[in-house]
């Protein structure tokens, strides 16, 4: 899109106005509809071939480039350092480690999104060795919480779920539910099934049915790894905590 020369001096002002408006609009969309099924809170535009869960090596920087345009006042990239501006104006920096050592492995940080209903920045963490992870950073306090996968936020914005399935060379295999509160993020429930051997299955595709019910898919393979079987499970919040319904 071409911008008129007369508007160029106004760009800084327009950007300051656009950022809060985008956050408010995103929060309104996320909370509208009550019991509607919730998906990861990602804001367009993103590269067409990079989905929210994309793990391709080049998707991290490309998705960050798209998201930085949404939040120029809150998130900045200067070479190997990513800086977040907290609500009180305090900056918090994440510096890439280009050359790792025996005690400090090489790692890169990428900005993935701002989750307005939770009030957290979402960073992708890509180590030189091993599997990528994610980091939630509080926009108010700067507290940091590592999570295994892209958060799926509940319709009321008070909780989120993550699910990670075991892959080749990666033993992580779990589905988790977290609660967001004034004290920060609280881990409420998790299931970590065996990834291999008898009774092995992997959790995928978590979807909130409402504020107190999460559905996810249990994916299993036969011993020869030739037949894939999927069943649905639902975990519900009860007076005694989260309970899993029988799969079907």
Looking at residue 175, its pLDDT comes to 94
**Could you read off the pLDDT tens digit of each residue along the chain, which spans 248 residues?**
444 444 334 444 334 434 444 443 444 343 344 444 444 454 444 565 665 555 566 677 888 888 888 899 999 999 899 999 999 889 999 999 987 777 778 999 999 999 999 999 999 998 887 778 999 999 999 999 999 999 999 999 999 999 998 864 567 899 999 999 988 999 999 998 888 777 788 999 999 999 999 999 998 876 666 677 899 999 999 999 999 986 55
Q: Is the dihedral of CA 63, 69, 74, 76 positive or negative?
A: positive
C-beta separation of 125 from 135 below 8 A: yes
Query: Tokens 């539910």 sit at which residue?
Result: 177
| pLDDT confidence of residue 10 | 40
C-beta separation of 45 from 60 below 8 A: no
Q: What is the pTM of this model?
A: 0.76
E-strand spans in 100-224?
A: 107-115, 120-127, 133-138, 144-147, 152-153, 159-164, 174-181, 184-191, 202-210, 213-221
| C-alpha dist (Å) from residue 213 to 42, 62, 117 | 21, 34, 18
């Amino acid at each position: 899109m071409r911008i008129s020369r007369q508007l160029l001096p106004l760009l800084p002002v327009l950007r300051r106005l656009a950022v809060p408006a985008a956050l408010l609009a995103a929060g309104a969309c996320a909370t509208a509809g009550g019991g509607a099924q919730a998906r990861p809170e990602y804001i367009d535009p993103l590269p067409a071939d990079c989905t929210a869960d994309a793990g391709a090596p080049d998707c991290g920087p490309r998705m960050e480039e798209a998201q930085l345009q949404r939040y120029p006042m809150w998130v900045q990239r200067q070479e190997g350092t990513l800086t977040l501006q907290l609500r009180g104006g305090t900056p918090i920096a994440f510096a890439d480690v280009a050359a790792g050592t025996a005690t400090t492995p090489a790692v890169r940080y990428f900005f993935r999104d701002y989750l307005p209903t939770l009030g957290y920045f979402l960073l992708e963490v890509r180590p030189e060795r091993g599997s990528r992870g994610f980091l939630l950073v509080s926009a108010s306090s700067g507290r940091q919480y590592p999570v295994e996968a892209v958060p799926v936020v509940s319709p009321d914005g008070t909780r989120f779920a993550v699910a990670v399935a075991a892959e080749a060379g990666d033993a992580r295999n779990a589905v988790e539910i977290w609660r967001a509160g004034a004290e920060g993020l609280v881990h409420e429930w998790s299931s970590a099934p065996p990834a291999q051997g008898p009774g092995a299955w992997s959790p995928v595709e978590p979807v909130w049915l409402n504020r107190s019910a999460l559905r996810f898919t249990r994916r299993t393979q036969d011993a020869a790894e030739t037949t894939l079987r999927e069943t649905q499970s639902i975990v519900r919040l009860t007076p005694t905590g989260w309970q899993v319904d029988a799969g079907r």
